[in-house]
Amino acid sequence: AGRVDLDTAARAATAAADAAIAANPDLAEGHLARGFAATMQWRSIDAMGPAQRALELAPNDYRALALMANVLS
C-alpha cells in the first residue's frame, strides 16, 4: 500500500463529508466528518460551522463535543 499525503486525504474526507451532508443534512455524522477534515489541515475557522451544526443536531455526542473543544483550543 502506498502513502497518501495529508492534503489528498483531507480533500477525500471533505468530499465524502459533503456527500453525506447532501444526502442527509440533519445527520450529525456528516457535519462531524466535515469539521474533522478541516481540523486535519489546521483550519479551525472552517471547522467551526460544522462543529456548531453537529452540536445542534447531537448535543450529547462526545464526538461533537470533542470536535468543538478541538476547534476552540
Find where cell 489546521 sits. 42
Give the C-alpha separation, 32 to 4, whole Å: 22
Give the C-alpha separation, 58 to 38, whole Å: 19
Give the C-alpha separation, 32 to 36, whole Å: 6
> Can you give the pLDDT of all 73 residues of the chain as single tens digits?
678 788 889 899 999 999 999 999 999 999 999 999 999 889 999 999 999 999 999 999 999 999 999 999 8
- C-alpha torsion 26→27→33→36, nearest 10: 70
The predicted model scores a pTM of 0.89
Find where cell 500500500 sits. 1
What is the predicted pLDDT for the residue at 1? 60
What is the predicted pLDDT for the residue at 4? 77
